């Protein structure tokens, strides 16, 4: 990327293989995921994000914050990784560059990929998995048998969040667009709502926990849909809507929080559930690298189901 704009402006280019600096690992990327921050980075919108991304053009030419691959070499000061070792992780805390065949990333952003976890599954887990886990357990403090609503249920956070909530015997309602609702029912949502037809905050139904991947209503609207003692937790939204939640939550009489993601923090707790088959990421793909511009538009339009995975290397999966 040499500027902000529509994702269709992106194209494949040959660039030098990065050399890992001190504390970094050079990874041969097998699979990567597309996330909301990539959609924002490419377009430079909302404009306030350019204070972080770069005012006139992106500081980072290659998007992508989530990868699975193998170690090529390590920089000075790196212990614990060896050449050829399978690794994965969310690098959003330190940089970008996963939508490329090679990426130099901080060693602290990686962990070994265990046997039994495919490269595709590993690329789908870290970012959405930690958002879902931290929203439901660390911030939402889910209790057994509670009523949960997930807004933006068809994406990576929503489909993983459903499975985590179900482990606690929760009754889970999913909100998303009509074309996704059949699949949401198949995945196990107890009730589904088409947001284009029904405003879930005005149905009279109330919930113990709302997990929001969209944040497209006011704090007072969300409060209306919470039971006494209920909690609202958002994992995403525009800066304006998030500021609105922060500014008004004290006047709602309900607990409202924004997840400050700790990348990779709870992967050690999530992995056993995935390896045992109790939690299975919903995969959209894998897709070829050349289709990334179309995939970003597909993501931005909210048409994807689960995690969009891009394949950069043919890998023989164990």
The pLDDT assigned to 123 comes to: 98
One domain, residues 109 and 38: yes
One domain, residues 247 and 145: yes
- Per-residue pLDDT for 226 more than 90? yes
The pLDDT assigned to 48 comes to: 84
Q: In whole angstroms, what is the distance from residue 283 CA to residue 32 CA?
A: 12
Q: In whole angstroms, what is the distance from residue 10 CA to residue 257 CA?
A: 35
Higher pLDDT, 23 or 46: 23
- On whether residue 178 sits in a domain, the answer given is yes
pLDDT digits (tens, 9 = 90+) for 250-272: 999 999 999 999 999 999 999 99
- Domain residues for the domain of 98 are 7-125+281-311
- On whether residue 276 sits in a domain, the answer given is no
One domain, residues 208 and 250: yes
The pLDDT assigned to 315 comes to: 57
> Mean pLDDT score of the chain, rounded to an integer?
95
Higher pLDDT, 56 or 137: 137
The pLDDT assigned to 268 comes to: 95
Burial of 248 (0-12, 13-18, 19+ CB in 10 A): middle
Mean pLDDT of 277-293: 97
Q: In whole angstroms, what is the distance from residue 162 CA to residue 184 CA?
A: 9
Alpha helices in 22-62 (DSSP H): 36-43, 50-53
CATH number at residue 135: 3.40.50.720
State the total domains in the chain.
Answer: 2
Mean pLDDT of 272-295: 97
One domain, residues 144 and 250: yes
């Amino acid at each position: 990327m040499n500027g902000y704009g529509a994702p269709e402006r992106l194209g494949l280019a040959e660039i030098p293989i990065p050399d890992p600096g001190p504390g970094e690992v050079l990874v041969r990327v097998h699979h990567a995921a597309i996330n909301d921050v990539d959609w924002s980075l490419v377009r430079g919108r909302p404009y306030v994000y350019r204070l972080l991304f770069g005012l006139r053009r992106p500081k980072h030419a290659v998007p992508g914050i989530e990868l699975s691959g193998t170690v090529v070499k390590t920089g000075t000061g790196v212990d614990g990784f060896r050449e050829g070792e399978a690794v994965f992780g969310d690098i959003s805390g330190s940089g970008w560059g996963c939508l490329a065949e090679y990426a130099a990333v901080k060693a602290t952003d990686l962990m070994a990929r265990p046997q039994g976890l495919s490269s595709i599954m590993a690329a789908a887990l870290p970012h959405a998995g930690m958002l879902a886990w931290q929203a439901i357990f660390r911030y939402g403090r889910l209790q057994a048998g509670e009523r949960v609503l997930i807004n933006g249920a068809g994406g990576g956070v929503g489909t993983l969040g459903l499975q985590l909530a179900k482990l606690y015997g929760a009754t889970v309602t999913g909100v998303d667009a009509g074309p996704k609702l059949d699949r949401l029912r198949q995945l196990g949502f107890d009730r589904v709502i088409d947001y284009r037809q029904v405003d879930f905050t005005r149905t009279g139904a109330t919930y113990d926990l709302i997990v929001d991947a969209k944040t497209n209503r006011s704090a007072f609207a969300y409060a209306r849909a919470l039971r006494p003692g209920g909690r609202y937790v958002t994992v995403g939204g525009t800066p304006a809507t998030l500021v609105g939640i922060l500014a008004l939550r004290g006047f709602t009489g309900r607990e409202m929080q924004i997840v400050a993601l700790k990348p990779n923090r709870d992967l050690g707790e999530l992995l056993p559930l995935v390896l045992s088959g109790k939690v299975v990421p919903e995969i959209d793909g894998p897709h070829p690298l050349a289709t990334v511009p179309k995939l970003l538009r597909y993501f931005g339009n909210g048409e994807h189901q689960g995690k969009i995975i891009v394949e950069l290397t043919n890998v023989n999966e164990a």
